[in-house]
Amino acid sequence: SCNSKKPENLIEKLNQYSSVKKVIGVVSGKGGVGKSLVTSTLAVTMNRKGYKTAILDADITGPSIPKSFGIHEKAKGNDDGIFPAKTKDGIDIMSINLLLPDETSPVVWRGPVIAGAVKQFWTDVIWSDIDYMFVDMPPGTGDVPLTVFQSLPVDGIIIVTSPQELVSMIVEKAVNMANIMNIPILGIVENMSYFKCPDCGKEHKIYGESHIEEIAKKNNLEVLAKLPIDPSLAKLVDAGEVENFQGDFMDNVAKKVETTCKI
Ligand code: ADP
């Protein structure tokens, strides 16, 4: 179940005008494995199901969520708080890119400052009537993601891996982090598992066999989805049109979220 006991003392208060029912953190061992893609397509899938959905982009040093939804304007606010940006289909989004004057300037902050910014996304942003918030976590299993975890009342975690990584180590580290925080892991999404040849339909395992099933089993976890390398998906993300993706590849993940973390 995802009503785990969370360390109340570590969690900052939500903005008084906000309401968020469930918070799902999306984690990965390193950058570039598709954590943001999984976060955004999962949020789109939940939004299509009719849930009020939000994305908190906590990947402060590599924020890619706004761009994938084609959002370039800055956030507005008043004395009560900051308003998230809204995507075309109505997903609420907050990211450091909506606050910085120049979205191409790199953020070189240290861990505590990053965690402080994420805390403010929770305390100062007006999240109105959100059923599911998906948090694109900072990559890795070190200090920064751990501090961010301690700043938000996360109800469940999804681990994103790709076959190029030292997956068993990453999964074990994520399990340890989840145990420290007392947060259940909903399962693993393997990204870039294979490439389906558009001409012959044959599936090629570019990075070899992944062993994700064994690793999941060993850690008592479920593999919720295996996504192919899909150039058309990358194109949509680049064009800021991730909301137009086709296919049911996130359906099983969405189902896991809505059944385990019932609102
Ligand atoms: P992360 O959040 O882990 O750093 P991203 O989600 O930003 O990774 O993905 C890194 C890059 O790879 C992006 O340009 C993204 O569009 C692309 N990408 C991710 N997953 C896939 C996939 N399954 N097929 C094709 N391109 C992908």
Query: What pLDDT shows up at residue 166?
Result: 77
Q: What is the CATH number of the domain that holds 180?
A: 3.40.50.300
ipTM greater than cut 0.90: yes
| Residue 77 maps to a domain | yes
Mean pLDDT by 10 residues, the chain (263 residues): 64 85 93 94 98 96 93 91 96 93 74 84 94 94 82 92 84 88 93 87 84 92 94 95 96 97 94
**Residue-level length of the chain:** 263
| Residue 185 maps to a domain | yes
Tally of domains within the chain: 1
CA angle 195, 56, 97 (to 5 degrees): 90
Beta-strand relationship, 223-226 and 203-204:
unpaired
Query: How many A from CA of 119 to the centre of ligand 1?
Result: 26
| Residue 90 maps to a domain | yes
| Residue 198 maps to a domain | yes
Query: What pLDDT shows up at residue 220?
Result: 94
Residue nearest ligand 1's atom 19 by CA:
34
Query: How many A from CA of 238 to the centre of ligand 1?
Result: 10
| Residue 1 maps to a domain | no
Closest C-alpha among 44, 46, 61 to residue 95: 61
| Residue 2 maps to a domain | no
| Residue 202 maps to a domain | yes
What are the DSSP calls for 61-91, one per residue? TS--HHHHTT--SPPEEETTEEEPEE-TT--
Question: In what helix (H) or strand (E) does residue 225 lie, and over which residues does it extend?
Answer: strand 223-226
Which residues does 30 contact at the CB level (< 8 Å), separation at least 6? 139, 140, 165, 170
| Residue 3 maps to a domain | no
Query: What pLDDT shows up at residue 4?
Result: 61
Domain coverage including residue 246: 8-260
Protein residues whose CB sits closer than 6 Å to any atom of ligand 1: 28, 31-37, 62, 64, 139, 191-192, 227, 229-231, 233-234, 237
Q: What is the pTM (predicted TM-score) of this model?
A: 0.94
Beta-strand relationship, 223-226 and 185-190:
parallel
